[in-house]
Amino acid sequence: SSDVCSSDLKDVNRSYSYIKLQDFKEKKKTQLLRVLACLFEKNPNLIYYQGFHDIAIMVLSFSRESLALLILE
């Protein structure tokens, strides 16, 4: 399915726990969710596996969303 599944959401919700500023943390989570949703929507043959969000977080730490999507593809 191209929808973001519940395991994706759980992993995103647990992400960025080290960030203390709530607004910034929510911004980063939103970015992560957008990248994951777009990635799996564009590539329905891909299957989410636990921990993939950690890879996406690393990529987002040095790139914008559009580049992160290209790298993760």
> Residues, the chain, total?
73
Measured CA to CA, the distance from residue 47 to residue 49 in angstroms comes to 6
Measured CA to CA, the distance from residue 1 to residue 54 in angstroms comes to 21
Measured CA to CA, the distance from residue 64 to residue 9 in angstroms comes to 21
Measured CA to CA, the distance from residue 51 to residue 21 in angstroms comes to 24
pLDDT at 10: 80
Are residues 32 and 57 in contact, defined by beta-carbon separation less than 8 angstroms? yes
2-46 pLDDT, tens digit each: 455 555 678 888 899 999 999 999 999 999 999 999 999 999 898
